[in-house]
Amino acid sequence: MSAYTSMAHLKFLLQEVHKVNDLFAFEKFSHLNWEQAWMMVESAKMLADRDMAPYFKAMDEAPAKYDGKGGVTTHPQLKRIIQQAAEQGWIGGAAKFEHGGLQLPMMIYNAGQHIFQAANNGCQGYFSLSAGAAALITSFGSDQQIKAFVPNIYEGRWQATMALTEPQAGSSLTDITTSASPANDGIYKIKGQKIFISGGQHDACDNFIHLTLARIDGAPPGVKGISLFIIPKFWPEKDGTLTPNDAVCAGDFQKMGQRGYSTTHLAFGDHEGCRGWLLGEPHKGLSYMFQMMNEARIGVGQTAASVAMAAYQASLQYAQERPQGRLASEKDPLKAPTLIINHPDVQRMLLTQKAITEGALSLAMECNRLYDLAHCTSGDEQHRSWLLLEILTPIVKTYSSEQGSRSASLAVQTLGGYGFTTDFPVQQHYRDLKIMSIYEGTTGIQSLDLLGRKVTMEKGKALQELLTEIGQATHQAGTYEPLKRYSKNLQREADRINEVVAHLGKFAAAGEIDRYLSDASVFMEQLSYVVIGWQWLKQATLAYTQLQSARFTDQSREFYEGKVHTMKFFFRYELPHAEACAKTLLDPEFLTNLKTSKALI
């Protein structure tokens, strides 16, 4: 079994960079202290070591597969994994005590999830999906609904899923056609098809709770007419019995990665017998779903960072053990080969991976912290946390998945020919990762969200809050002589964001909305470099002050030196591409308009 994460880095992020201890001062989390929280995280590592990581390859080689009879066959270990995760509190852990949870800060809950994602990302999908769906029922459901579903989900006996996509609509939720006809007492008769439903009806759970977007008869067109329904496979009757509900798995999708994770096609009401229970109010389904969707986007970003981290750790371990070749300056063929970690190009590949994965994971933890603050604080502070979370959500999703794929590609490359073989896990990480830029809204959609909604929200306040945060970090770093150069570099790139937004804003102001948004993905790339540069400058500033104080109680001197070094590496090798993106965005030509499709021949 290869190494798959760095507990030292995780501890550094929680304890030093993102200061989880601050959260224990809030009443909601006052039942915890650092030692308890860290013990919880360490228990996740033990669970992952024992029950998840050893099955990473096996679950890929025996893919979840439709059995032709309405169910999906999964690897036999999956049932144990879900049960163990549930028992240790890793499904409902972030829920309040009153709903059967452990009331963990999202930072701690997701530190545990990070470990599972790095160890075996497909199987973590099953229970994180359940957790998100249960939280949604808890937020908007009636007491009766909460009681009927949530405990069973948290106990890992029932699997919950989100059912949005339809064959004809794809990412365009406006075009959803699944119908809901009122029957009685909040119960509707459902008819429709959903595809790409992760965690769909498999053999490791007893019941399936599909949170489903549908249109009530006569609802307004577009997204304003979408409602949210709870559609169980087996309906829990008042007397406690379960009745089949005509919500069946009609097939599955076989995939290039995450092969242990079922992806299903669901048919509701093919035999006119599908009941759905309205969640919350009619026509508000999409806004409800966005609670889960936003958490899922951060979750996908964190998963991508975690899978890339696992690939990095595996390639680092290989590079430290594999002798091959000699440095260019060593001409004597009789000298023993050196470890490949000593080759500059291998170091470049490893440092690139370290910069991407540790940077992305730091951003995910920043988001987890903001989530916790948005749920503990009030007034301006809450609003500020919420604004920052809103603008960072599409970024953590996109940077981690796009650059995570590149990072895993470098992991394969570090192992050379071996990396391409199924004897090593890095090729599986590479395959698994490709879905992350598609899940929960593709990179294109995230970028439209960033530039179209988040940058413009409250007259640009979210972006300005973010740039203020970055400004504080550059200011702090700038007070230390050896960090001044990097501080200045990052501030210059942050300023360039304003320049680009002002330039693009002219198109928006002129009503040229398609043009304003046409290069949203490039803007996403530019801002992502700046945001990850910010995470690295924060990490390096902390590490630098620790090195100055020469107290190494938490981590070793080499650990902190590694952080400063990786920051320098990111600033030298990655950050210049932010300016290249700006150059593209400021270029006067407009090349992706309706006419362009004619040029595509």
Q: Please, which of residues 161-220 interact with a second copy by CB under 8 A?
A: 165, 169-172, 174-175, 195-196
Q: How far apart are CA 399 and CA 486, in angstroms?
A: 21
* Token representation of residue 230: 């709870």
Among 68, 240, 344, 379, binds a second copy (CB under 8 A): 344
Minimal distance, residue 593 CB to a second copy, in Å: 7
The conformational region for residue 267 under phi > 0 = left, psi -120 to 50 = alpha, else beta, is beta
Element (H, E) at 192: strand 187-198
3-state secondary structure 269-330: CCCCCCEEEECCCCCCHHHHHHHHHHHHHHHHHHHHHHHHHHHHHHHHHHHHHCECCCCCCC
C-alpha to C-alpha distance for 122 and 141, rounded to whole angstroms: 28
75-114 binders of a second copy (CB under 8 A):
none
Question: Closer CB to a second copy, residue 185 or residue 589?
Answer: 589
Q: What is the closest distance, in whole angstroms, from the C-beta atom of residue 134 to a second copy in the complex?
A: 24
346 is a site residue for a second copy (CB under 8 A): yes
33, 144, 243, 421: residue in contact with a second copy (rule CB under 8 A): 421
Q: Kindly tell me which residue out of 15, 181, 347, 377 binds a second copy, with binding defined by CB under 8 A.
A: 347
Q: Which residues pair with 219 in a beta bridge?
A: none
| Shortest Å, Cβ 384 to a second copy | 28
Of 6 and 245, nearer to a second copy (C-beta) is 6
What three-state secondary structure class fits 373? helix
Task: State whether the Cα torsion 588-594-595-601 is positive or negative.
Answer: positive
Closest to a second copy by CB, 183 or 256: 256
CA 493 to chain centre: 25
Contact stretch for a second copy (CB under 8 A) within 146-154, 301-309, 533-541, 566-574: 566-574
- With CA atoms as reference, report the closest residue to 305 among 441, 223, 405: 405
Residues carrying an active site annotation: 440
Span 451-490, contacts to a second copy by CB under 8 A: 452
Q: Does 528 bind a second copy (CB under 8 A)?
A: no
**In angstroms, what is the minimal distance from the CB of 79 to a second copy?**
25
Among the residue ranges 20-28, 236-244, 267-275, 343-351, the one whose residues contact a second copy (CB under 8 A)? 343-351
Residue 128 CA to residue 124 CA, distance in Å, equals 6
Written in H, E and C, the secondary structure of 135-148 is HHHHHHCCHHHHHH
User: For a second copy, which is the closer residue by CB, 328 or 502?
Assistant: 328
435 binds a second copy (CB under 8 A): yes
> For a second copy, which is the closer residue by CB, 46 or 256?
256
**Residue count at the site for a second copy (CB under 8 A)?**
108
Binding window for a second copy (CB under 8 A); candidates: 41-49, 342-350, 360-368, 467-475: 342-350
Of residues 419, 478, 539, 541, which one binds a second copy by CB under 8 A? 419
By the 10 Å C-beta count (0-12 exposed, 13-18 middle, 19+ buried), 16 is classed as buried
Of 139-158, binders to a second copy (CB under 8 A) are none
Q: Which is nearer to a second copy, 344 or 379 (CB)?
A: 344
Tell me the two tokens of residue 309.
């981290």
Question: Using the rule CB under 8 A, which residue among 18, 75, 215, 343 binds a second copy?
Answer: 343
Spatial neighbors of 453 by CB under 8 A, at least 6 apart, are none
Instruction: List the one residue from 114, 431, 454, 496 that touches a second copy (CB under 8 A).
Output: 431
Q: Per the structure block, which two tokens stand in for 30?
A: 């006052």
Residues numbered 487 to 506 that lie near a second copy (CB under 8 A) are none
Backbone dihedral angles phi then psi of residue 329, each to the nearest 5 degrees: -80, -10
Query: Residue 495: what residue type?
Result: D
Positions in 14-53 near a second copy (CB under 8 A):
none
Residue with tokens 């769909």: 200
Q: Do residues 262 and 250 touch, judged by C-beta distance below 8 A?
A: no
Q: What part of residues 248-277 is at the interface with a second copy (CB under 8 A)?
A: 253-257, 263
- Please report, as a single letter, which amino acid is at residue 80: R
User: Smallest distance, Å, CB 114 to a second copy?
Assistant: 18
Residues 44 and 54: their CA atoms lie apart, in Å, by 14
Q: Which of 316, 364, 365, 388 binds a second copy (CB under 8 A)?
A: 316
* Near a second copy in 224-253, by CB under 8 A: 253
The smaller minimum CB distance to a second copy, of residues 187 and 223, is found at: 223
- The residues, ordered by sequence, that sit 6+ positions from 34 with a Cβ below 8 Å of its Cβ are 15, 20, 21, 24
Smallest distance from a second copy to CB 501, Å: 17
Give the alpha-carbon dihedral of 313, 316, 318, 323, to 10 degrees: -170
- Interacting positions 352-411 with a second copy (CB under 8 A): 354, 405, 409
Which amino acid is residue 362, in one-letter code? S
Q: Which is nearer to a second copy, 40 or 316 (CB)?
A: 316
- By CB under 8 A, residue 543 contacts a second copy: no
Rounded to the nearest 10 degrees, what angle do helices 520-549 and 484-509 cross at?
Answer: 160
Window of 65-73, 126-134, 378-386, 446-454 that interacts with a second copy by CB under 8 A: 446-454
Among positions 522, 527, 532, 540, the unique one binding a second copy when judged by CB under 8 A: 522
Which of 30/592 has CB closer to a second copy?
592
Bridge-based pairing state of the strands 207-216 and 158-163: parallel
CB of 316 to a second copy, least distance (A): 6
Question: Residues 417, 459, 509, 551: which binds a second copy (CB under 8 A)?
Answer: 417
> Least Å distance between CB 371 and a second copy?
27
Tokens of 358: 């540790």
Residue 514 in the binding site for a second copy (CB under 8 A): yes
Q: Return the number of the residue (87 or 321) whose C-beta is nearest a second copy.
A: 321
Interhelix angle 344-374/106-140, nearest 10 degrees: 50
Binder among 337, 381, 468, 552 for a second copy (CB under 8 A): 337
